[in-house]
Amino acid sequence: MTRDGTPGRDSDDNRVATADRDGDRGGDGDRGGDADRYDVPPDAEAIACPRCGRPFAGRRQRDLHLGVDHADLTADERAAFEAAREEETADLRRFRILSLGLLVLLYFGFLFVYALVG
């Protein structure tokens, strides 16, 4: 999803993250050569996107990529995207709740230390 909430790709946000070590973004913006710009260790197993060839560490990341970056999905790919999105949403929600709890504990911990020492 883009920043304004519409489906699709952010303009250059993903391209900056995939720049090589020299800072070259590669190509003229053509998406056909995206797979060539990723360094996958030779001993690592990567799951490639069936449309653009971009490698991913897992099926969930690939399914999320398919749903966000490619519009013409089959029914199975759409179902996999929806399942991956639900899992990702649940994981993010859990992370946010745990982070908030940690911040609250940290705040009150400092408050009690200040009350005892100060």
Domain extents in the chain? 34-117
* Interval 33-64: pLDDT, tens: 555 677 888 888 888 999 898 999 899 999 99
Shortest CA distance to 31 belongs to which of 46, 47, 9?
Answer: 9
State how far the Cα of 111 lies from the Cα of 24, in Å rounded to an integer. Answer: 48
**Torsion-angle region of 22 (φ positive above 0: left; ψ -120 to 50: alpha; else: beta):** alpha
Lowest mean pLDDT among 21-25, 28-32, 49-53: 21-25
Q: What is the pLDDT of residue 40?
A: 80
* Interval 85-115: pLDDT, tens: 999 999 999 999 999 999 999 999 999 999 9
- Give, in order, the Cα–Cα distances in Å from 113 to each of 79, 97, 99, 100: 51, 24, 21, 20
Q: Which two tokens stand for residue 72?
A: 């013409």
**117/5: higher pLDDT:** 117
The pTM score is: 0.60
Lowest mean pLDDT among 8-12, 72-76, 80-84: 8-12
